[in-house]
Structure 1
Amino acid sequence: MASLHVHPDRLEIHLSKAEKTLALRRDDIVVPRENIRSVTITDDPWIWIRGIRSPGLGLPLVVAVGTWKFHGGKDFLALKRKRQAVVIDLIDDEFSRVLLSTSHAPDLIASLKLGA
């Protein structure tokens, strides 16, 4: 599972070796805090997926790791089963949205001071 690190100027998403391999990605994701528009907690992250996988791995309701491209941009997903997740909407960044399964969603929102 990806680990999240909140810094005063950025949010770092450290992917596990398995996630990097499945997503065909070498680097972790670093998002400047000024690029975060909103953060939402969801109990069903699968309804937030849009577009087609390219590249990555997707098994519906089991795992989704990688980039999903849609008309107008691309999203990064690291979802596992029916776990609670965060949806991070971004502006002026590599991705339009990042969806991550995490058991620390309320703590993430509190540390970003965006409000629930």
Structure 2
Amino acid sequence: MALIRVEGDNLVVVIEGLDKLWSFKGSLTVPLANVRGATADPGISTDPKGIRAPGSHVPGVITAGTFHQHGEKVFWNVRDASKAVVVELTGEKYARLVLQVDNPRAAVALIENALT
């Protein structure tokens, strides 16, 4: 699971527990200027993921790490698709972040409010 917070002009994502191991990342920091928006999207887990490098993918169990598809990099950290949030980025290493959070609605509201 991921914790999302806004610190100053940055969106900070902290990966918790063993998910750090599976995703090969402990945290991500993105300037808010490079965040286009966020949506709760439980259906995203059925989308094609692309090539995993590095990361972990056990269908129906976990998708974590960096995935390459159509020339884009997408960071995933999802075990429970019903709690998935997609953060769209621009000008960053990743085109989007797909994250499992405790409360998707609250996470989306936090990000969207920080962008206004």
Q: Same fold (TM over 0.5)?
A: yes
1:1-116 correspondence runs (5 A): 1-25=1-25, 27-112=26-111, 113=113
Contact 1:56/1:66 (CA < 8 Å) preserved in 2? yes
Q: Across the two proteins, how many residue pairs are aligned to each other?
A: 114
Instruction: Name the aligned partner's letter for residue 30 of structure 2.
Output: V
Give the whole-Å Cα distance in 2 for the aligned partners of 1:42 and 1:71: 20
RMSD of aligned Cα (Å): 1.9
Unaligned runs of 5+ in 1: none
CA deviation map 1:9-37 (0-9, x unaligned): 11111112412211223x41001101111
More helix, by proportion: 2
Contact 2:101/2:107 (CA < 8 Å) preserved in 1? no
SS of structure 2 residue aligned to 1:57? strand
Instruction: Name the aligned partner's letter for residue 96 of structure 2.
Output: R
Contact 2:9/2:31 (CA < 8 Å) preserved in 1? yes
SS of structure 2 residue aligned to 1:103? coil
Q: CA deviation at 1:48?
A: 3.9
Give the whole-Å Cα distance in 2 for the aligned partners of 1:73 and 1:35: 16
**TM-score by structure 2 length?**
0.86
Q: Which moved more, 1:74-83 or 1:14-23?
A: 14-23
CA deviation map 1:57-91 (0-9, x unaligned): 10112111100011222000000133321111100
Sequence identity percentage: 28
Q: Which moved more, 1:106-115 or 1:10-19?
A: 106-115
Q: CA deviation at 1:110?
A: 1.9
Instruction: Name the aligned partner's letter for residue 10 of structure 2.
Output: R
Unaligned runs of 5+ in 2: none
Give the whole-Å Cα distance in 2 for the aligned partners of 1:6 and 1:94: 19
